[in-house]
Amino acid sequence: MISATCVAPVNIALIKYWGKRHEDLILPVNDSISMTLSTDELCAKTTVTASESFETNRMWLNGEEVPFEGSPRLQRCLKEVHRLAVANGSQKVPPSWKIHIASVNNFPTAAGLASSAAGYACLVYSLSRLYDIPLNEELTTVARQGSGSACRSLYGGFVQWHRGALDDGSDSVAKQIAPSSHWPNMHVLILVVNDERKKTASTKGMQQAVKTSQLIKHRVDKVVPERITQLREAIANHDFQTFAEITMKDSNQFHAIALDTFPPCVYMNDVSHRIVSFIHDYNEIMGGYHAAYTFDAGPNACLYVLEENVPHLLDAIQKVFPSDSFDSDTYLRGLSVPKVDKSHKIDPAQRNKIDSLDIIAKNAFRYIIHTKVGEGPRELSADNSLLINGLPL
Ligand code: DP6
């Protein structure tokens, strides 16, 4: 019996992946860029165990057994790992041995975060440790076949998923643009919005968009290529102004395409739209971009903000979206809020303007997660295993 246990991060796209040119291989219509979030606040954790004595492949997700054979994406990932093991001459695990997988997320599903990205990245990374396969671009093509956005979670920092041009997808890979140490004060606030609506799943939504949206063609041919170049440059230069503008515009365009899909996909809700207008008002008061929003296929906002600007932004959020639980331990989760340092004191005119902002909505968020840019997946020691003798704890 042989095991590996690993953690892998969530990533949030700055330039969105939306639309496939091949469904099974998960080949995207455009490049995307994301930032990897620290695993200290949000991560998937997976144990994979292989044994001669296991009769079938089995998997447990957050403690519940899920049908392994029923998932073509899972099976494709395992098949690809076997192929890479042979290609790399790795004989650590005999190919006939079956595997057991247990995976958990350390964040509630209710957070509506891209759990599939962290989950598949963690699965593929754990398998790569088990089968002794190196982490390289080729491994990102395996994670990509689990869930497109998962390929970006194999690296820390800022990551680009190149759409590639080949039919077999071998050049549709993720590459790191810059490590997390390049911009360590890049922080994120995730505003988890109350919302119970049933939404169209990403896979289905993007399929319909490619089929029915005319705007998506313009995005793919013209807008994304320009934005990729500009955003890469903004990251290289620590240029938060350009970074913020591209991020917000790209989120807006993604949701415009969702609405241009027929029938339309509506992912943001009323509170999401109010967050957008608040961020624009806030940035205007501050005289430049101090925060940038982005929304995935759901109503929660992800706000990018430099560490030194976190305290003022949180004050303003509590002013316009007051929460009765603000002082409770469970409302503001994750990193503690840094102290305002002297060089980032807000001037009295700005303070007045923020103080005179109207309340937009009360108790609009379940909670707020404060996190930052982080590293890629890593292996944990055996005492962190989620499986004992191949079965969940
Ligand atoms: C809006 O990677 O979940 O988060 O490839 O079908 O599994 P599949 O989709 P998925 O889509 C993520 C879409 C997004 C944007 C992004 O992460 O780039």
**pLDDT at res. 316:** 96
Element (H, E) at 310: helix 310-320
CA distance 101 to 89: 23
Complex prediction ipTM:
0.99
* Binding pocket residue ranges, ligand 1, CB within 6 Å: 13, 16-18, 26, 32, 114, 116-117, 147-149, 202-203, 296-297
Q: Domains along the chain?
A: 2-183+379-392 (3.30.230.10), 186-372 (3.30.70.890)
Q: Whose CA is nearest to atom 1 of ligand 1?
A: 296
Tens digits of residue pLDDT in 291-336: 999 999 999 999 999 999 999 999 999 999 999 999 898 999 999 9
End-to-end CA distance of the chain: 16
Please give the distance, rounded to the nearest whole angstrom, from the Cα atom of residue 104 to the centre of ligand 1: 19
CA distance 129 to 5: 9
- Looking from the CA of residue 146, the nearest atom of ligand 1 is 7
Please give the order of strands across the beta sheet that includes 158-161: 11-15, 32-36, 158-161, 174-178
CA distance 302 to 188: 7
Which residue did the predictor score with more confidence, 246 or 195? 246
pTM value is: 0.97
Contact criterion met (CB below 8 Å) for 251 and 273: no
The residues pairing with 34 across neighbouring beta strands, listed in sequence order, are 13, 159
Backbone angles phi, psi at 270, to 5 degrees: -60, -45
CA distance 173 to 161: 6
